[in-house]
Amino acid sequence: MKIGQSWKKTMLFITLFMALALMFPTKASAQGIIAGDTVNEGEVLDHNAFLNGTSVVMDGVINGDLLAVGNNIKINGEVNGDLVVMGGNVVLNGPVSGSAYIGAGLLVLGPQASVGRDVYFLGGRGTTEAGSKIDRDLNIVGLESNLAGEVNRKVNSLVGPVVLAQKIYEFMISQGWLPQTWQKAPGTPQARQIDLAVHPVAFGLTTFQPLIPASLTSDNRITTNSLNRVQSLQPANAIDTERLKSWAVPMLRTLVGLLLIGLLLVWLVPAQLHVASEHVHLQPWRSLLYGLLVFVIGWLAAVLILVLVLALAFFFYWASLPNLGFLTGSLGLISLGLALTIFWLSIAYFSKIIVAYLVVVLVFKRWIPSLAQNRILPLVIGVILYALLASIPYLGVLISAVATLIGLGGLWMFLTKNRLPEIEEVTQAEPEDINPEVVPAEEG
């Protein structure tokens, strides 16, 4: 109850904040807007400007606000107002008297760039070169940043997940935990590079690794007819450690992830895990159908929400409400990212844990009833069996897909408070089964 009240208060606060921002915008203007894709050097515009196109170039002077939309945007001139930019590659190398609101895949503030107020950046990589200057705050929500310019006040940043993931990946490659890419020996003609470690994926997790070595033909086709030649170069009883590692490493990675998250679920929510598995046990076909619907609709809903958030942010920028546009875009993307993370965890881990746990519990109930009430042992055995079965070529893809859809459907029915058939039958039978004791009247 307290959590619900806190959530309601938070939503009320956000709603009031957005309403106040709409009623009291930071800047609104009724001046005319000049549209185009280029402002040449020496050209002066005494109005707001809207520049759009594949390549947008602004080398002149704009005495007003500038809204620029395009793929490649270069702003070398002077903007005496606020700057709002949405594009792929953005280069700002001129003075801006107001604030800059930029959404882009790549942003570069050149050595001649200066911003009189704040800079808000939402996108991929943000770079400020030496010589650039920001008089107030720099706010970044992105994947990577490289800051060498001057910021007079403070830097608020949320960056780094891609860089961190890349560093971890490179470290695992260097330690031999992940398969290496094959490269030709120096001096060999027809240099090509292929990845022998093929990772077919079924709903978020690696499922199998082919154990047959691949070879590259002259027409760039990967074949497997070199098996006999490779085997002839090895002793009869030798173990191909590279092929063994290419199979074992993805399987162990899957096993460790499922085991850690599964033990965490057993520790924190054991009753909920049991109820979700009972939904799958009592309604397997319904779970499969619900899982398929949740899987398809979930991704479609994520795309629609992303489009809606970007559209709202762009609308607020266009309506001279840049602060509200940045707030809408950043909060919307962060919330969508959190929701997608939970959705991906449900697909990649939670669903498979539910099914693996249920299968072993059913086996225990039939053959070893004394272990059926144990929570940890069925989980550990089930996860190990699933990881081994999912590593089987081709069959593992089918097993992983079915387990994902059924487990996802059971999780959905649990979260939506669907009642189990057994509980409904007991509830309906209670008025007939319970007969109040009739107390005979005393004679008298």
pLDDT truncated to tens, each residue of the chain (444 aa)? Answer: 444 455 455 555 555 555 554 444 444 343 445 567 889 988 998 888 888 888 999 999 999 889 888 889 999 999 999 999 988 899 999 999 999 999 888 899 999 999 999 999 887 788 999 999 999 999 887 777 888 889 998 888 766 555 555 566 666 666 665 555 434 344 444 433 333 333 334 344 433 333 333 333 334 443 444 444 444 444 545 556 777 777 777 888 888 889 999 899 989 998 899 899 999 999 999 999 999 999 999 999 988 998 898 888 888 888 878 788 888 888 888 888 899 899 999 999 999 999 999 999 999 888 888 887 888 899 999 999 998 888 887 888 889 999 999 999 999 999 887 665 554 443 344 344 434 444 444 444
- Confidence at residue 211, expressed as pLDDT on a 0 to 100 scale: 36
Which pairs with CB-CB distance under 8 Å and at least 24 residues apart come from 99-104?
A: 99/322, 101/317, 101/322, 101/325, 101/326, 103/313, 103/329, 104/73
User: What pLDDT does 160 receive?
Assistant: 59
The DSSP letter of residue 370 is G
30 neighbors 46 (Cβ within 8 angstroms) = no
* Residue 255: closest CA among 381, 347, 111: 381
Alpha-carbon span 95 to 92, nearest angstrom: 8
Q: Are 50 and 67 in contact (CB under 8 A)?
A: yes
What is the structure's pLDDT at 217?
Answer: 39
Reading the block at residue 38, the tokens are 């280029």
pLDDT of residue 227: 40
How far the first Cα of the chain sits from its last, in Å, is 55
Res 187: pLDDT: 43
Q: What is the pLDDT of residue 181?
A: 47
For residue 51, what are the CA distances in angstroms to 42, 379, 381?
17, 59, 62
Predicted confidence at residue 166, as pLDDT, reads: 59
Q: In this predicted structure, what is the pLDDT of residue 126? A: 87
Task: Please state the pTM of the whole predicted model.
Answer: 0.46
Task: For residues 212 and 284, give the distance between their C-alpha atoms in angstroms, rounded to a whole number.
Answer: 36
Those residues whose C-beta lies under 8 Å from the C-beta of residue 114, and which sit 6 or more positions away, are 94, 95, 96, 132, 133, 134, 135
**What is the DSSP track for 45-67?**
E-SEEEEEEEEEEE-SEESS-EE
Task: Give the SS3 label for residue 438.
Answer: coil
pLDDT of residue 190: 40
Phi then psi for 60, rounded to 5 degrees?
A: -100, -145
